[in-house]
Amino acid sequence: MEEFRKTIRRIIRRNVKQTKGEKQNNMKISDILTEKTPHLSFEVFPPKTDAAYEGVLKATEAIAELKPSYMSVTYGAGGGTSKNTVKIASHIKDKYNVPSLAHLTCVSSTKEEVHQVISQLKEAGIENILALRGDIPKESEFPLPNHYQYAYELIQDIKSQGDFCIGAACYPEGHVESEHKKDDIEHLKQKVDCGVDFLTTQMFFDNNILYNFLYRAREKGVMVPVIPGIMPVTNANQVKRILSMSGTNLPERFKAIVDRFGDNPKAMQQAGIAYATDQIIDLFANGINHVHVYSMNKPEVAAAIQANLSEILNK
């Protein structure tokens, strides 16, 4: 009888969501974050070439069909895929009634080019922007004339151009360009004070790093919601990229998983999904209600994690 009641409740919730339709897809992330039950969101990235667009779109649609609380769409290396960022974010919102969060990276774009993208987002009805400076190109002069030097400058500009919900990045282990964690928190506070509504963290593999970061951030007056970003590592090559990009700390337990299963792709995928699921459960258990998963355009990984959390998420 209890299982029957649960099934009925799920059907009712699904029908309510469907009747919300357009209202739901236009939700701001800041409104979603007021909900006090566990929520999962996913990140996807646009294709690097037009030829790969259909394949990426198919994967994105499969993830959207999971009905996450929202989906973010990255801006691509060097900002070269910005047209597809807007296109995919709009498609997710309009076809699947899933709120979308468009990344906007300014490091390789002039202010005029950024203004054009902001106008495109506004025309598409996309209300959520994740404002990022991006990685400085190697062996390149920076900043160039008429470019942004810091993310807070971009945030101020977005704020002046519309009623957007603005997110920004934060780094639980400290930004690679900051010599001291204290300085990193002060720079973060500066970004938040310019009009940030929420923060999303870089990936981490030890939840204690996040909890310590939250304590330090709150102590310095950073009070906006912080969404943990979780990366399911499903193949050993990802580990090399992670270390080269961010220098993220890898716990011994995580290293043991890679050492044991790294040469077996199916086993590594299963173990990586299990590790990420375990991280998310711990976050939920400690009062964090919203977790963002870097799905790497893999609908099977997103679906497996959501299935592992089905009763927790009521899906």
Q: Which sequence positions are flagged as catalytic?
A: 43
CA-to-CA separations, 194 to 17, 111, 113, 219, in angstroms, rounded: 34, 17, 21, 19
* Peptide bond between residue 143 and the one before it cis (omega within 30 degrees of 0): yes
CA gap 218, 176 in Å, rounded = 21
- For the chain, what's the residue count? 315
CA-to-CA separations, 182 to 23, 78, 135, 199, 216, in angstroms, rounded: 41, 29, 21, 17, 9
CA gap 159, 105 in Å, rounded = 15
CA gap 282, 207 in Å, rounded = 8
CA dihedral 160, 132, 36, 251 (to 10 degrees): -160
CA-to-CA separations, 78 to 95, 178, 280, in angstroms, rounded: 28, 22, 31
Residue 42 buriedness (CB in 10 A; 0-12 / 13-18 / 19+) = buried
CA gap 274, 253 in Å, rounded = 12
Beta strands in the chain (DSSP E): 39-44, 71-73, 100-105, 128-132, 165-170, 198-201, 226-227, 229-230, 290-294
Helices (DSSP H) in 99-138: which residue ranges? 111-123
CA-to-CA separations, 84 to 88, 122, 181, in angstroms, rounded: 6, 15, 35
Type of residue at 195: G
